[in-house]
């Protein structure tokens, strides 16, 4: 039975999702309203009366590099250049918060963990779809200085940002291949030497948790890995893109009502995001400055030095030389940007999450067909037009036929 403390935070070892009791009540009510009838879907719950392009772009984001395209598009006024109105972006501290705000219509353009998109659409049955990828790679497994291999994590606690995350999928894969068993228990529970306890922590709390030695590692999006490195708190043990080549981490997620009823608005939103990604690829240091605590928008609390270590990385070769990078022939970047949502990725994502321990009600995964999800979760009509408008797939280094093969290797 789920238990709650005085502030209504869920204490159940069977949940760990990061939602409060109040969050769950709101989410359940909003999801029920959104799925009760065709006319009560995303945005209607908040009595949103905007029509067509009059609807402002209301970005919801976490202060991580995953949000880069949305924030660059906002800062450079690329949405306005497409004839759209905007409101100031809203910063959230956890994935639970951003999902609840999205369902409630408080925000209408968000970046979301790609596995979380599966959960929102099929687990909660909330009508929303992926229209583009926000970025590729951009995450890492960061550990305490005394941890030198995956095997050293036996008997330790490792934090992940959300059960439905590429981070949870990849850490569990790495642990299994090292003959370690992922478990989900209270943080101070005793562990066997071959067990690794996975807990949920908001990304912003991970570096301090590592510094206090309450965890031995975390796997999350940058810039928190870079922040731990620069502060001497931790070191990168593996990059996520060195386990799953050029994987998507966050995707652009829109309510299905907006996609269906406001196709021109949806197209313009995607146009701005694609242009932002293209600009970012050629302006890495400028992007770091734009997102930093000293930037005009003050979108993140991180200094330029931390963000530039990720976005304008010049030291990736040192990770190759030290053995942190295992697949030099993949020619990876710490983070990169390309917007096309490859169907092969979504198919493989469903297959991989079925092999992953996920807390909470996950029965929907049992019957979720990978090929169906690749077609149903993603609507790539808009991003294809956006890509062609800026020069075609080649400007992002993509094949003209927009087909690729997934490569996962530890």
Tokens 């096309």 correspond to: 340
Mean of per-residue pLDDT scores for the chain: 90
How many percent of the chain have pLDDT more than 90?
A: 85
Q: Please report, in angstroms and rounded to a whole number, the separation of the first and last CA atoms in the chain.
A: 37
What are the backbone dihedrals phi and psi of residue 164, each rounded to the nearest 5 degrees, phi first? -90, 75
Summarised one tens digit per residue, pLDDT across range 243-297 is 999 999 999 999 999 999 999 999 999 999 999 999 999 999 999 999 999 999 9
The predicted model scores a pTM of 0.89
pLDDT interval class at 342 (50, 70, 90): very high
Distance CA 180, CA 171 (A): 11
Both tokens of 216, joined, read 């031995």
pLDDT higher than threshold 60 for residue 6 = no
Summarised one tens digit per residue, pLDDT across range 60-85 is 999 999 999 999 999 999 999 999 99
* pLDDT at position 37: 34
Beta bridge partners of 132: 252
* pLDDT at position 150: 98
* pLDDT at position 50: 47
Q: Are 108 and 43 in contact (CB under 8 A)?
A: yes
Summarised one tens digit per residue, pLDDT across range 25-56 is 455 445 444 443 333 334 334 334 445 568 99
Summarised one tens digit per residue, pLDDT across range 191-249 is 999 999 999 999 999 999 999 999 999 999 999 999 999 999 999 999 999 999 999 99
Least trusted range by pLDDT, from 3-12, 52-61, 300-309, 346-355: 3-12
Kindly state the helix (H) or strand (E) to which residue 280 belongs, with its residue range: helix 263-282
Q: Are 281 and 336 in contact (CB under 8 A)?
A: yes
Averaged pLDDT, 110-119:
98
pLDDT interval class at 14 (50, 70, 90): very low
CA neighbor of 251 nearest in space, from 395, 408, 118: 118
Q: Are 115 and 345 in contact (CB under 8 A)?
A: no
pLDDT higher than threshold 90 for residue 349 = yes
How many percent of the chain have pLDDT more than 70?
A: 87
pLDDT interval class at 158 (50, 70, 90): very high
CA neighbor of 379 nearest in space, from 74, 96, 127: 127
CA neighbor of 228 nearest in space, from 161, 145, 116: 145
* pLDDT at position 54: 84
């Amino acid at each position: 039975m789920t238990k709650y403390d005085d502030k209504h935070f869920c204490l159940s070892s069977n949940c760990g999702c990061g939602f409060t009791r109040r969050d769950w009540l709101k989410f359940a009510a909003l999801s029920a309203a959104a799925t009760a009838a065709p006319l009560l879907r995303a945005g209607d719950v908040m009595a949103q009366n905007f029509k067509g392009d009059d609807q402002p772009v209301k970005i919801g984001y976490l202060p991580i590099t995953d949000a880069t395209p949305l924030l660059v598009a906002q800062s450079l006024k690329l949405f306005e250049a497409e004839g759209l109105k905007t409101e100031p972006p809203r910063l959230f501290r956890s994935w639970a918060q951003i999902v609840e705000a999205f369902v409630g219509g408080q925000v209408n353009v968000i970046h979301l963990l790609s596995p979380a998109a599966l959960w929102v659409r099929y687990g909660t049955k909330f009508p929303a779809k992926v229209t583009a990828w926000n970025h590729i790679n951009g995450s890492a497994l960061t550990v305490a200085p005394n941890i030198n291999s995956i095997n050293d994590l036996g008997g330790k606690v490792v934090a992940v940002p959300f059960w439905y995350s590429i981070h949870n999928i990849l850490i569990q894969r790495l642990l299994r291949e090292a003959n370690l068993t992922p478990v989900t228990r209270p943080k101070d529970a005793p562990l066997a030497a071959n067990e690794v306890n996975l807990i949920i922590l908001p990304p912003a709390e991970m570096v301090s948790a590592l510094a206090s030695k309450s965890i031995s590692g975390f796997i999350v999006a940058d810039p928190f890995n870079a922040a731990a490195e620069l502060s001497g708190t931790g070191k990168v043990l593996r990059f996520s893109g060195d386990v799953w080549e050029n994987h998507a981490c966050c995707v652009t997620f829109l309510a299905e009502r907006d996609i269906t009823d406001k196709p021109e608005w949806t197209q313009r939103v995607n146009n701005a995001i694609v242009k932002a990604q293209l600009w970012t690829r050629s302006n890495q240091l400028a992007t770091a400055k734009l997102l930093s605590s000293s930037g005009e928008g003050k979108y993140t609390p991180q200094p330029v030095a931390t963000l530039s270590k990720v976005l304008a990385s010049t030291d990736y070769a040192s990770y190759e030389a030290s053995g942190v990078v295992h697949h030099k022939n993949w020619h990876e970047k710490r983070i990169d940007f390309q917007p096309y949502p490859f169907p092969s990725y979504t198919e493989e994502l469903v297959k991989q999450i079925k092999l992953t321990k996920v807390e909470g009600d996950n029965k929907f995964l049992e019957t979720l067909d990978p090929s169906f999800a690749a077609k149903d979760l993603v609507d790539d009509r808009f991003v294809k037009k956006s890509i062609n408008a800026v020069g075609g797939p080649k400007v992002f280094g993509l094949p003209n036929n927009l087909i690729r093969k997934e490569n996962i290797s530890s």
